[in-house]
Amino acid sequence: MAVLADGIGGPSASEQVLHTARQVFDEFKPSDTPDVERVAQLLRDIVSETHLVIKMNAVAAQAEAHASFVGLVLTPHGEAVWGHVGDSRLYRFTDGKCVARTSDAPYIEHLVSSDRLPEDAAKNHRKSKLLLNVMGNSRKEPFVAIGSATDLAPGDSFLLCSDGLWHFFTDAELAAVTAKSSPRQASQMLIDKAQERSQGKGGNCTMAIVKLVKAVQEGARVGKLV
Average pLDDT over residues 146-151: 94
From the list 42, 208, 46, 39, the residue with the least C-alpha distance to 135 is 46
- pLDDT for 223 beyond 50: no
Distances, alpha carbon 155 to alpha carbons 55, 73, 133, 136, in Å: 40, 17, 33, 36
Per-residue pLDDT tens over the stretch 92-104: 999 999 999 998 7
- Confidence band (pLDDT; 50, 70, 90) for 113? confident
Per-residue pLDDT tens over the stretch 125-148: 554 544 578 999 888 899 999 999
- Confidence band (pLDDT; 50, 70, 90) for 122? low
Residues 6+ away with beta carbon under 8 Å from 42: 24, 25, 28, 73
- pLDDT for 155 beyond 50: yes
Q: Does domain 2-211 have CATH number 3.60.40.10?
A: yes
Per-residue pLDDT tens over the stretch 29-47: 766 566 889 999 999 999 9
Distance CA 130, CA 29 (A): 37
Q: Can you give the pLDDT at residue 104?
A: 75
Residues of the chain with pLDDT > 90, as a percent, come to 56
Q: Can you give the pLDDT at residue 65?
A: 86
Residues 6+ away with beta carbon under 8 Å from 212: 74, 152, 153, 154, 155, 156, 157
Least confident range from 78-87, 128-137, 215-224: namely 215-224
For residue 81, how far is the Cα from the chain centroid? 11
Rounded to two decimals, what is the model's pTM?
0.85
Compute the mean pLDDT over every residue in the chain, rounded to the nearest whole number: 86
The DSSP H or E segment spanning 147 is: strand 145-149
Q: Can you give the pLDDT at residue 127?
A: 47
State how beta strands 207-211 and 2-8 pair: unpaired
